Amino acid sequence: MTSLRRGLRIVCFFAFAIVASADPPRPPGVVIDQSPASSQQYIGSPSLAVLPSGEYLASHDFFGPGSTRQLTIVFISKDKGATWQPRAKIDGQWWSSLFVHRDAVYIMGTTSEYGFLGIRRSTDSGETWTTPADANSGLLLNDGKYHTAPVPVVVHAGRIWRAMEDAQGPDGWGHHFRAFMMSAPEDGDLLDAKNWTFSNRIGWDPQLLDGKFGGWLEGNAVVAPDGKIVDILRVDHPDANERAAILEVSADGKQMNFDAAKDFIDFPGGAKKFTIRRDPNDGSYWSLANYVPPDKRGPKPATIRNTLALINSKDLRSWEIRKILLDHPDPVKHGFQYADWLFDGEDIIAVVRTAFDDEFGGAVRQHDANYMTFHRFTGFRK
């Protein structure tokens, strides 16, 4: 007869008393954090960094009606992702990505949902962080509503590059996103707003994609094969053949351009957030994306997130599926989404916003994740 045990689990600095079976359902990977659906605080914006010490940092925020929409939690692993401990909580940080630059770790995003654009620095492995109080301490833009996600930060041609969007266009979600690129000298003070250059902003055009273009968001700064910086964005579009958009950036970071005739590309999983990184070995490109197999496709590809695939490209424009990494047969309450990842030698390491079964009844839906999980995909180039 199955016995019951009663325990206490600490989750994101909140204590939940639970009654668990001997073998509660668990998602694949290592659970970094869990937030039960009943809390109405859903896990968003997973991000990952490897510190100069070799320790890993991971972060996520909370969204949903039970959240403040401005809190980010940071975790640390001292054993290559096998176990994780809470490191810090940052009030006034959201939609953010971690990155390491010149022996310090930074977190960049917004100050809240559609808040200002801010960046913080830590010199003690993520335990304490600077506060973006003004233009001299990390408050980079305070003139409107901004949007982003955990997206790549790239050092190239003496500058550090990151894609962003504002939410100051017409109408609501999707239509109001305007893409732009930001950059700064790689040897400059990243907390000083004067060091940052911002490109022009390109927004939604209702004429594109036969009038079915819903907008673009969550762009990736990527070094293209010709050495130029481009912004590759998720595209909201109802067609089962998912797309991304490529916006070209001038060398000084001041001008972005888009040619609709050639710069919408087929991209497996392009209706959901993805991260693209360039392979230091051969210059090809990799991503973890929510590809939808042909027999599972429907009219709303952005809602299908139960398959995570490793995809590869030689030129950023033609992509192939290399392997299905995570999959669950149910697309309604299961999702492996918003994967942020890094190269680690011959492996890929990743953190994933995961909706899965748990001892509390599982996720509300695939979008409203109840876990952040860590994964190591070994020998990915093979």
With b for 16 or more beta-carbon neighbours within 10 A and e for fewer, the 226-238 pattern comes to: eeebbbbbbbbbe
Say which DSSP state 359 is in: T
Q: Which amino acid is at 203?
A: G
Q: State residue 298's pLDDT score.
A: 85
Q: State residue 228's pLDDT score.
A: 98
Q: How many CA atoms lie within 13 A of 351 on its CB side?
A: 32
Of residues 287, 299, 293, 281, the one with CA closest to residue 345: 281
Token duo for residue 179: 């893409």
Query: Residues near 279 by Cβ (< 8 Å), separated by ≥ 6?
Result: 285, 286, 343, 381
Q: State residue 8's pLDDT score.
A: 30
- Below-50 pLDDT ranges, the chain: 1-21
DSSP sequence for 272-331: S--EEEE-TTTS-EEEEE----GGG--S-GGG--SEEEEEEESSSSSEEEEEEEEE-S-S
Which of the four CATH numbers 2.60.40.10, 1.20.1260.10, 1.10.260.40, 2.120.10.10 does domain 4-377 have?
2.120.10.10
Domain ranges (residues) in the chain: 4-377
Instruction: Report the alpha-carbon distance of residue 39 to residue 65 in Å, rounded.
Output: 9
Instruction: Kindly list the distances between the CA atom of residue 211 and the CA atoms of 130, 177, 206, 246, 281, in Å, as whole numbers in the listed order.
Output: 45, 17, 5, 19, 41
Chain-centre distance for alpha carbon 11: 21
Q: How many CA atoms lie within 13 A of 66 on its CB side?
A: 11
Torsion of CA 270, 274, 280, 285, to 10 degrees: -10
Q: What is the pLDDT of residues 126-161, one digit of tens each?
A: 999 999 999 999 999 999 999 999 999 999 999 999
Q: State residue 23's pLDDT score.
A: 72
Q: State residue 14's pLDDT score.
A: 36
Q: How many CB atoms lie within 10 A of CB 17?
A: 8
Q: What are residue 327's DSSP bridge partners?
A: 307
Token duo for residue 287: 């991503």
Instruction: Report the alpha-carbon distance of residue 321 to residue 141 in Å, rounded.
Output: 38
Q: What is the pLDDT of residues 227-285, one digit of tens each?
A: 999 999 999 999 999 999 999 999 999 999 999 999 999 999 999 999 999 999 999 99
Q: Is the pTM of this model over 0.85?
A: yes
